[in-house]
Amino acid sequence: MQGVRETPTNTLQYRLDGPEDAPALILGPSLGTTWHMWDRQIAELSSRWRLVRFDLPGHGGAPAQPADSVAELAERLLATLDTLGVQRFGYAGCSVGGAIGIELALRHPHRVASLALVAASPRFGTADEFRQRGVVVRTNGLDPVARSAPERWFTSAFAAAQPAIVEWAVQMVRTTDPGCYIAACEALAAFDVRGDLSRVGVPTLVLVGSEDRVTGPAEARTLVAGIPDARLALVPGASHLAPVEQPSAVTDLLAHHFGTAWQDTLTAVPVPVAGPPAQTAPHAVPAAPAADAPAPEPAPAAAEQPVAVPVDTRPDPHELGTKLRREVLGDAHVDEAAASADDFTADFQDLVTRYAWGEVWSRGGLDRRTRSCVTLTALLAGGHHEELAVHTRAALRNGLTPAEIREVFLQAAVYCGMPAANAAFRVARNVIREETTHRA
């Protein structure tokens, strides 16, 4: 039985193939693709497994309900599988689909029987790269990313020989919801499980195209080195979308892996319970009847009462400030500031991180977009051109468009002066050109 289902907003759009009573195998897509990227695996795999393919939010006509993290995508997938009654499953995912698989194996090991990671990585590029891609899409739409997709996804020989598939790939990206694509970029920017790989406790196949320049053999070997029960499969003549470019090889590898490594480890993995069991005091003594109860001892004097010391539960402002500063200004800027700090400037860098970012930028009274508007106005008024360039870049990453930045400067020109605004326009124009140019 086959079918396509649309689901509530806390779940994902999915398709079912294969026998209803067969073991479940989930197939996760790459960013910018739909479940159709697995079409060429379905005929063979569906003879042995109940296949569940899903679309990312805003992809393939799915509801445009952005997810802001890989963990949220994993939770939406689990909610979808719960509606289907699927508790235990194998999982194969490509790129961000692979990230979802790692997240599932880390957070819900009792649900995952075995895992295949295709063109995946414990960290995808750098956070700055994905946030800059989000700026490009917010400014120019998805067309620049769509036009460069074949170069990232396929080898040049395959692209030249298969123009229809190339056009299909371009159209998949073009028809994706921009807001959901940007949210997925933000999710990948924040994804980093390099320190957690040793906790992936299921049999894992790491599959990578030999010509993949996005997440290639180096990233695959990092996964294999970190995951205890993992092995590597290198697919010759394939780039990032190996299931599309070399379908027979990928299908054979997946069929062999899930056919031999599917182990019922459910009894070996602790299943979470709803709450802790009731505690029974050891050697409990029954209470004495009231008449025989000894007289209570007098309460200690007031001076002897313990004094409750309030505990500061606020997050450490330096840790919070570092995280927020990286998200807004980018890793490259923060790394450069940290590397250039010395005995003379280190205390100032600490002050900036703790106070400006950990105390002020992190306050809940204004959102980041509004704080960027205020910051740009202040820097324009003060003529702080170097910082204005930094915060123009930050404003784009915080969600302002070039048109909105222009309006901020026009408004500021009226109250802060034409010369100051003129200089600000010159500085910001160069930054905007750089940040909104797609880097394939």
Interval 104-155: pLDDT, tens: 999 999 999 999 999 999 999 889 999 999 999 999 999 999 999 999 999 9
Name the CATH topology of 317-435.
Answer: AhpD-like (1.20.1290)
State the pLDDT at residue 306. Answer: 55
Give the burial class of 174: count Cβ atoms within 10 A of its Cβ; 0-12 exposed, 13-18 middle, 19 or more buried: middle
How many Å from the N-terminal Cα to the C-terminal Cα in the chain? 41
State the pLDDT at residue 310. Answer: 56
Calculate the CA 46 to chain-centre distance: 29
- The residue among 131 and 301 whose pLDDT is bigger is 131
Query: HEC string of the chain?
Result: CCEEECCCCCCCCEEEECCCCCCEEEEECCCCCCHHHHHHHHHHHCCCCEEEEECCCCCCCCCCCCCCCHHHHHHHHHHHHHHHCCCCEEEEEECHHHHHHHHHHHHCCCCEEEEEEECCCCCCCCHHHHHHHHHHHHHHCCHHHHHHHHHHHCCHHHHHHCHHHHHHHHHHHHCCCHHHHHHHHHHHHHCCCCCCHHHCCCCEEEEEECCCCCCCHHHHHHHHHHCCCEEEEEECCCCCCHHHHCHHHHHHHHHHHHHHCCCCCHHHCCCCCCCCCCCCCCCCCCCCCHHHCCCCCCCCCHHHCCCCCCCCCCCCHHHHHHHHHHHHHCHHHHHHHHHHCCCCCHHHHHHHHHHHHHHHHCCCCCCHHHHHHHHHHHHHHHCCHHHHHHHHHHHHHCCCCHHHHHHHHHHHHHHHCHHHHHHHHHHHHHHHHHHCCCCC
Q: Are 27 and 35 in contact (CB under 8 A)?
A: yes
State the pLDDT at residue 438. Answer: 86
Name the CATH topology of 3-267.
Answer: Rossmann fold (3.40.50)
d(CA 325, CA 313): 21
DSSP β-bridge partners for residue 92: 27, 116
pLDDT at 4 over 70: no
Least confident residue range of 9-13, 212-216, 284-288, 430-434: 284-288
Q: Which of 339, 331, 334 is closest to 353 using CA atoms?
A: 334
Domain map (residue ranges) of the chain: 3-267, 317-435
The rounded percent of the chain whose pLDDT value lies above 70 is 86
State the pLDDT at residue 381. Answer: 96
Residues 6+ apart with CB under 8 A from 245: 153, 154, 155, 158, 209, 237, 238, 239
261 — pLDDT class (breaks 50, 70, 90):
confident
Least confident residue range of 21-35, 226-240, 301-315, 422-436: 301-315
Render pLDDT for 55-104 as a digit per residue (tens, 0 to 9): 999 999 999 999 989 999 999 999 999 999 999 999 999 999 999 999 99
pLDDT, mean over the chain: 88
Average pLDDT estimate for 378-384: 96
d(CA 151, CA 293): 84
d(CA 161, CA 48): 32
d(CA 188, CA 96): 7
pLDDT at 279 over 90: no
CA angle 91, 95, 99 (to 5 degrees): 60
State the pLDDT at residue 317. Answer: 87
159 — pLDDT class (breaks 50, 70, 90):
very high
d(CA 198, CA 228): 6
Q: Dihedrals φ, ψ of 75, to 5°?
A: -70, -35
State the pLDDT at residue 439. Answer: 79
Judge whether 3-267 and 317-435 match in fold.
no
Calculate the CA 212 to chain-centre distance: 21
Q: Which of 193, 236, 215, 39 is closest to 118 using CA atoms?
A: 215
